Amino acid sequence: MPPESHYLMVSLVLFLVGCVGVLARRNLLVVLMGIELMLNAANLAFAAFSRSRLLVDGEIVVFFVIAVAAAEAAVGLAIVVALYRRKETVNLDRFNVLHQ
Amino acid sequence: MSPPLFGPDILRALLPFIVVAVGATLTTLLGAWRTRLGLAAAVAVLAVAVLALRGAPESVRAWEGALVLDRFSLVFMALLLGAAFFTLFLSEPVLRREGRVRAEYYGLLLFSLSGMFLLVSTTNLLMIFLALELLSIPLYVLCGYAREDDRSIEAAMKYFVLGSFSSAIFLFGAALLFGATGTIDLAAMHGGDRLLGAAGVLLLLVGFFFKAAAVPFHMWAPDVYDGAPTPIASFMATAVKIATFGLLLRVLSFAFAAEAHPAAAFLDREAAEPALRWIAILTMSVGNLSALTQNNVKRMLAYSSIAHAGYLFLGLIPGSGAVDGAGVTYYLVAYLFMTSGAFAVIAALSAREGGREVLTVDRFAGVGYRRPFLGLAMTIFLVSLAGIPPTAGFFGKYLLFRGAIDRGLTGLVVIAVLNSALSLYYYLRVVVFFYMKETDRPAAIDDALGFRLAMIAALAGVLWIGFMPDLFGLPGIPSLLGWVQASVSSLP
């Protein structure tokens, strides 16, 4: 089995890719994917640490996170649908009625 | 010997959570059957929750810190219940006025409340994550509740993106912290890998600061408060803030009590303190300076709630002593009353015109004469928010600032006092419009009973604390200050 640090590296890269997706992309669906990537990066780290330390805690966390991510995606996609119905686009920059 | 996994004590400790969570489900079902029953069911659930809180044991710790019921969590749960009652008062007339009385509203509100309950009564990272999400997901929906309104749905989108982004950051921090220490119970963490632990704590706190809308993680708050329905904005400004500060207090008091509790040494005090100082200074200054230029009163209140978070951060900096739990909690009590009251007034004035709310301050000209009680109430809430005696806001600030001076944070207190003076301008500006200006397009005023009840309750709280700062200091009734001090004694 590869050492723990390899898993940590992969999860760090996943986390950063997700972060960039949320911050730099303007399409709401891509932003949603970025958030999912970040959650899964955390899952990978939890599972890897759990495995290398022979603890079960991290693996339990992963199950909960998967369930919560599904609930979050359901609400997120509902918001995407509601936005699309209003303006026929999911580009974040087109939603700008709230400002000064 | 390990503690028992289950027992009568644990069951009684779980009762408040069960009542609110099961009550949320029942409220949704009843509301789907008969829409009118939604509000009645929600009030009944909150009433039963009060009883469950009164009967709850005061020191239960179970399941690796996943359930920690002490006096601290009980006090915060009582505050959260208060915030929920205020929100119910405001919700009913607003929903009715806008023709949006639907089954799911009250259920979602209660689900969010159950998340907040969990958030203030746990030290377990998994439980904190679940509680944060249980708190946030119903709120994303509630923000976009007026879904024909562009502003509401945009607020939901912004809150969703930044809320789930911050949850993900928190979770990754939790994963790193677990890797560093080998446990997910904050109270049981030992030293371990320092670099990993420090990175974990950093991400963890960034996640919390997003939720608390601390500068520089505050960008979402004004837009979201502005676009969300007014009762929900009020719920976010009061309940969410109370819950996050409850969590921050618990986490930071563990972190900074490292000398007394070597098991909890996972935060580098040398690095954390200057960072917290800067966040306190930035949060209050940016909040106040941005509020100065706002014409929209709801946005002004959003920035003001950011500024108040800044004052609260003063209490989270240990300085030469420890985290000032009593000061923060007392301030939150005062903050709950004055902010709920101000939002109740805004809700009464926020009838839609042509599908959108018009809340610019010039529309409120002359309101003070048209409705003397409403004008007087708003004046008192704003004076209290600015921190002028004899109101709750003054004594909240007094306790926080005096505590900070005692811990050697005089420079910070000077900045905070200057900020309070600055805030006087934009709070009193609203009062000036209420009494001293005229307009040919006066705002519509909604005299619904719910708004009045909320205003009267908030007014009673603000004045009672203001005139008798050691509130409830009557024979046989414990004083507020004593109650607050006793509650934080269960923190490390």
B85 lies in some domain: yes
Taking CA–CA distances from B196, the nearest residue in chain A reads A8
Q: How many domains does chain B have?
A: 1
| pLDDT at residue B260 tops 60 | no
CATH 1.10.287.3510 corresponds to the domain A4-94 = yes
DSSP 3-state of B36: coil
Q: Which residues of chain A have a CB within 8 Å of the CB of B226?
A: 98
**Residues contacting residue B406 through CB under 8 Å, at least 6 positions apart:** B321
| Cβ pair B171:A38 closer than 8 A | yes
- Per-residue pLDDT at B429: 92
Contact flag A82-B156 (C-beta cutoff 8 Å): yes
Q: What is the largest CA-CA distance in chain A?
A: 55
Per-residue pLDDT, B21? 94
Tokens at B254, concatenated:
């563990």
Q: Would the CB atoms of B157 and A55 count as touching at under 8 Å?
A: no
Q: Is the pLDDT of residue B472 over 60?
A: no
Q: Which of B161, B196, B223 to mutate to test the interface with A (most CBs of A within 10 A)?
A: B161
- Closest CB to A61 among B147, B164, B184: B184
What CA–CA distance (Å, rounded) separates A97 from B256?
43
Query: What is this model's ipTM?
Result: 0.95
Q: How far is B368 from chain A (nearest CA, A)?
A: 26
Closest CA to B352 of B146, B60, B87: B146
Where are any strands of DSSP class E within B5-145? Answer: 60-62, 67-69
CA distance linking residue B209 with residue B203, whole number of Å: 10
Given an 8 Å threshold on Cβ–Cβ distance, is B129 in contact with A68? yes
- Whether B349 and B366 have beta carbons less than 8 Å apart is answered as no
- Cβ separation of B175 and A35 shorter than 8 Å? no
Average pLDDT estimate for B469-475: 60
Interface A–B counts its CB contacts (< 8 A) at 117
Task: State whether residue A90 sits within 8 Å of chain B by CB.
Answer: no
B81-94: average pLDDT: 93
pLDDT score recorded for residue B264: 47
| Measured distance between the N- and C-terminal CA atoms of chain B, rounded to whole angstroms | 23
Residue of chain A with shortest Cα separation from B126: A61
A18 inside 8 A of chain B by CB: yes
pLDDT tens-digit series, residues A56-80:
888 999 999 999 999 999 999 999 9
What local confidence, expressed as pLDDT, does residue B355 receive?
A: 67
Contact A18 B158 (CB under 8 A): no
CB atoms near residue A89 (< 10 Å): 13
Place of tokens 């109270």: B187
| Gap from A76 CA to chain B (nearest CA, Å) | 7
Mean pLDDT, range A16-42, rounded to an integer: 94
Q: Is the pLDDT of residue B263 over 60?
A: no
Residues β-bridged to residue B67: B62
C-beta atoms of B183 and A57 within 8 A: yes
Please, is B6 exposed, middle or buried when counting C-beta atoms within 10 Å of its C-beta (0-12, 13-18, 19+)? exposed
Residue B1: inside a domain: no
Contacts of A95 in chain B (CB under 8 A): 150, 154, 157
3-class DSSP assignment, residue B356: strand
B129 to chain A: which residues are within 8 Å by CB?
61, 64-65, 68
B95-105 pLDDT, tens digit each: 888 888 887 89
Cβ-nearest to B171 among A39, A76, A97: A39
The phi, psi pair for B440, rounded to 5°, reads -95, -5
B262 pLDDT band, cuts 50/70/90, is: very low
Residue span of the structural domain in which B345 resides = 8-488
* DSSP structure string for B393-460: HHHHHHHHHHHHHHTT-HHHHHHHHHHHHHHHHHHHHHHHHHHH---SSPPP----HHHHHHHHHHHH
Q: Is residue B268 within 8 Å of B198, Cβ to Cβ? A: yes
Average pLDDT over residues B237-246: 95
The reply to whether residue B137 touches residue A75, judged by beta carbons under 8 angstroms, is yes
Six-digit token pair at B123? Answer: 């030290």
B183 shares contact with chain A (CB less than 8 Å) = yes
Question: Residue B67, SS3?
Answer: strand
The predicted structure's pLDDT at residue B1: 41
User: What are the tokens at B465?
Assistant: 């604390």
Nearest CB among A35, A68, A97 relative to B165 is that of A35
| Chain B residues with CB-CB distance to A46 below 8 A | 175, 178
Residue B363 touches chain A, beta carbons under 8 Å: no
**Mean pLDDT in residue range B447-468:** 90
| Per-residue exposure over B172-189, b if at least 16 CB sit within 10 Å of its own CB, e if not | bbbbbbbbbbbbbbbbeb
Query: What band does B42 get if pLDDT is binned at 50, 70 and 90?
Result: very high
Provide DSSP, A36-93.
Answer: HHHHHHHHHHHHHHHHHTT-SHHHHHHHHHHHHHHHHHHHHHHHHHHHHHHHS--BGG
- Average pLDDT over chain B reads 88
Q: Which residues pair with A91 in a beta bridge?
A: A27
Interface of B with A in 289-308 (CB under 8 A): 293-294
Residue B366 has phi, psi (to 5 degrees) of 80, 0
Taking contacts as CB-CB distances below 8 angstroms, the residues of chain B near A18 are 168
Is the model's pLDDT at B162 over the cut of 80? yes
Element (H, E) at B352: strand B352-353
Predicted structure pTM score = 0.93
Contact B172 A15 (CB under 8 A): yes
Residue B72 located in a structural domain: yes
Q: Residue B475: what pLDDT?
A: 57
Q: What is the DSSP letter of B238?
A: I
Which token pair is B258?
């490292």
Question: Does residue B414 fall inside a structural domain?
Answer: yes
At B167-198, the pLDDT tens digits run 999 999 999 989 888 888 888 777 677 788 88
Give every CB contact of residue A91 below 8 A, 6+ residues apart in sequence. A26, A27, A28
Per-residue pLDDT at B258: 59
Asked if A82 and B183 come within 8 Å (Cβ–Cβ), the reply is no
Question: For residues B67 and B122, is the Cβ–Cβ distance under 8 A?
Answer: yes
Nearest CA-CA partner of B239 in B471, B483, B15, B20: B20
What distances in angstroms separate CA B370 from CA B318, B350, B434, B443, B449, one per listed residue?
A: 48, 16, 9, 11, 17
Contacts of A98 in chain B (CB under 8 A): 151, 154-155, 158, 223, 226-227
